[in-house]
Amino acid sequence: MNIVKNMLYSLVALVLMTNVAYSDGADSHQGIYVGAYTQFTGVELDGNETGQNDTTTGAVGKYAVIAGGELGYNWQLGDGFLIGLGYDFMPGEAKVSNRTTGSDSTHSNTSAAISFEVSDMATMYIAPTIAVSDTSAIYLKYGKTDADTKVVGDVTKPTSMDGTTFAIGSTTQFASGFYFKTEAGYVDFDQVKVTGLGTSDGAGGTIVPTTTSVTVDPTLAYGRIALGYKF
């Protein structure tokens, strides 16, 4: 994930330092737009499990091709500049489970499973945009992302998690109103932590003791292509 972040930082710096020769084509990009996208997504979950006697640290990485949709509006601020405000939604889910084995008297259940599922990620974003021509534009994206969470197990259960999205992309606008976008970015989510509830297992112990906690730092990186229509 650090490689992806460094590449994005370099691309942003290149855009900011380059003297872009833009035209007065911003009006061609102004308006309401709606589209659908497909993206290659890499998710990394860095985390640790802390028990009564020890802490285990690890990372899980998964890759998937998923689809979503976007809706937004581009405001023209000058001959070659626009500000876009938008919303995109990505249905689907990613799941990770952690099976612990009791090794002390407070955790007599030999297999207490905890699963963590993330689904239905939505982002509200702002996108400063430079119109290179009537048909081409480049943009940076900054957004706030929210995703639903589902936790199964004898632990505390957060219902959502928040993150910050950074991306860079380009738009090709056709005279017919259709547009084509390419975008690369990443989402840095806030840390999520669940702790055992200590519910009795009916045999003198607990299912997941209160001394057990699982902490996860999720990060998502993606490359996206989108096709849509600007009204």
Q: Which amino acid is at 203?
A: A
How far apart are alpha carbons 7 and 164 in whole angstroms?
A: 17
Name the pLDDT band for 209 (thresholds 50, 70, 90).
Answer: confident
CATH number of the domain bearing residue 182: 2.40.160.20
Q: What does the pLDDT read at residue 185?
A: 96
* pTM for this prediction: 0.76
How far apart are alpha carbons 222 and 108 in whole angstroms?
A: 42
42 close to 48: Cβ distance less than 8 angstroms: no
pLDDT, tens digit (0-9, with 9 covering 90-100), for 158-194: 888 899 999 999 999 999 999 999 999 999 998 888 8
Q: Which helix (H) or strand (E) holds 230?
A: strand 213-230
Q: Would you say residue 19 has pLDDT above 90? A: no
142 close to 166: Cβ distance less than 8 angstroms: yes
Pairing of strands 112-131, 178-189: unpaired
Q: Would you say residue 99 has pLDDT above 70? A: no
Q: Which helix (H) or strand (E) holds 135?
A: none
**Domains of the chain: total:** 1
Name the pLDDT band for 107 (thresholds 50, 70, 90).
Answer: very low
Mean pLDDT lowest among 19-33, 41-55, 126-140, 162-176? 41-55
Phi, psi of 25 (to 5 degrees): -90, 15
Average pLDDT, the chain: 81
**DSSP designation for 206:** B
Residue with tokens 């999520």: 192
Note down the domain range covering 106. 2-230
